[in-house]
Amino acid sequence: MSLFIKKPLAQLMQTGDSDKGLKRTLGAGNLIALGIGAIIGAGLFVRTAAAAGEAAGPAVVISFIVAAVGCAFAGLCYAEFASMIPVAGSAYTYAYVTMGEFIAWIIGWALVLEYALAAATVSIAWSEYLNNLLGGAIPYAWSHSPMETSIDGVSGIINLPALFILLILTLILIKGTKESAMVNAIIVFVKVSIVLIFIALGWQFINPANYDPFFIPETAAGHEAFNRHGWGGVLGGSAIVFFAFIGFDAVSTAAQEAKNPKRDMPIGILGSLIVCTILYILFSRVLTGIANWEEFKTVGKEASVAYAIQHYMPGYGWLATLITVAILAGFSSVILVMLMGQSRVFYSMSNDGLIPKVFAEVHPKFRTPYKSNMILFVFVGLFAGFIPGSMAGDLTSIGTLFAFVMVCAGIWVMRIKNPEAVRPFTTPLVPLVPILGIVICSAMILSLPADTLLAAGGWMIIGLFIYFFYSKSNSVLRNK
């Protein structure tokens, strides 16, 4: 039987409508909040200054617009699939219908890089920011992995704060999707409010001289490369800030828990992307207006937002503390949505027989994949507790971009192979939009470091081994 055997769309829709499956509790507002919760994290507070200092200067505002356009191409394709196939699983499920089981498995395995490793990486960063907020009260040994050593020669033992936040959020997810969405909505309100406060208060401290020159000149020291000055620097900056947009696709994993997915999924995906893009543009405009972009290369490189507030906004030192609180809140909601997204992908893969059935077992009362959540806590916790965060960061980006490429390709294939399917939301300008999405995301993958690409290749080899020695023979579709 072919490796590219496809799941019939009608069969998939029956699975999504089952009364024994996940509980439909999410409205359009919940889905937008989930998207914002996944998108706005450290990317806004860290990557903005990095892109300004390394490549774009004040023109980082345009970099955010370019990155948003690239994400929008993928977002439009996600929106069509999510309205058309309103079941859990995101890109994995879409690929099973359009490109077959083997491609679906590869995407599902790549999504582990995006969701599970992202949750681990962000939980490690959460631990670091919490310790900073507490003035270093948590001993180094109990807040770092055994692979890390302080400048004083103290070795880490385990990252307990990272495990703590993972455990709390896992318990919330087990309790229920509605409860998880409520917690996420509160967190989103807190961090968006603080971002808006910074924009409103910081606007009066903008120094117009910091916008001149608007583009980094070619003569600037260390900026001779094409992607480090002028319009090339804008493109280089967009590659840096692209990772601040990662997460909007996690909305699609909750399609089977949406009350009216055909209407609400496109609103959730595109709505969260639009809201975050507007906030990003305003935030970057204010930040590069308060402090000169060159400072973000040196003294203002670490904790860039707090640096700008403390040095150029006299009397607003309290805002720097609030920014740290916003970052912690942002991290928490990102972890929550990433853990939720990963468990829903595993739920779909388990129902298809590609991974053990335990991942699809639903709690009799809460109707959440609770065993999957518990296994994920152990898996993600091993990374968070014992591995440095830097090892998993770029792998997250590869998993995300690869899923974007496959979803864009899937829309094109679906239009050719299944043109009569009902599409409540239609991606415009097909095949132009999918092609642009494929080209932009593929270019970003190739721009990542070579060692990261090799590590991702090793991960895929492990996935292929599992598929051919377990998944292929246990596939429900093949055994019918």
Q: Which of 442, 419, 441, 422 is nearest to 430 (CA)?
A: 419
Q: Please give the Cα distance from 440 to 356 (Å, whole number).
A: 35
The answer to the question of residue 427 being in a domain is: yes
3-state helix, strand, coil in the chain (%, to 5): 75, 0, 25
The answer to the question of residue 1 being in a domain is: no
The answer to the question of residue 65 being in a domain is: yes
The answer to the question of residue 158 being in a domain is: yes
Each residue of 153-186: pLDDT tens digit?
Answer: 888 899 999 999 999 999 988 887 666 677 777 8
The answer to the question of residue 5 being in a domain is: no
Mean pLDDT of 381-397: 75
3-state secondary structure of 159: strand
Residues 385 and 360: beta-carbon distance below 8 Å: no
List Cβ neighbours of 443 (8 Å cut-off, separation of 6 or more).
Answer: none
Enclosing domain of residue 268: 27-474
The answer to the question of residue 16 being in a domain is: no
Q: Look at residue 374 and tell me whether its pLDDT is greater than 60.
A: yes
Q: Identify the sign of the CA torsion 11, 17, 21, 27.
A: positive
Each residue of 232-283: pLDDT tens digit?
Answer: 888 888 877 876 777 777 777 666 677 777 788 788 888 888 988 999 999 9
pTM: 0.76
- Give me the pLDDT at residue 145, please: 84
CATH code for the domain in which residue 455 is found: 1.20.1740.10
Enumerate the H helices of 242-260 as residue ranges: none
The answer to the question of residue 9 being in a domain is: no
Each residue of 53-98: pLDDT tens digit?
Answer: 888 889 999 989 988 888 888 888 888 887 777 766 667 877 888 8
Mean pLDDT of 108-124: 84
- Give me the pLDDT at residue 160, please: 93
For the chain, the first-to-last Cα distance in angstroms comes to 12
Q: Look at residue 302 and tell me whether its pLDDT is greater than 70.
A: no
Each residue of 16-58: pLDDT tens digit?
Answer: 444 555 666 777 778 888 778 777 776 677 778 888 888 888 9
The token pair at 276 is 């975050």
The answer to the question of residue 20 being in a domain is: no
List Cβ neighbours of 83 (8 Å cut-off, separation of 6 or more).
Answer: 261, 262, 263, 265, 266, 423, 424, 425
Number of folded domains that form the chain: 1
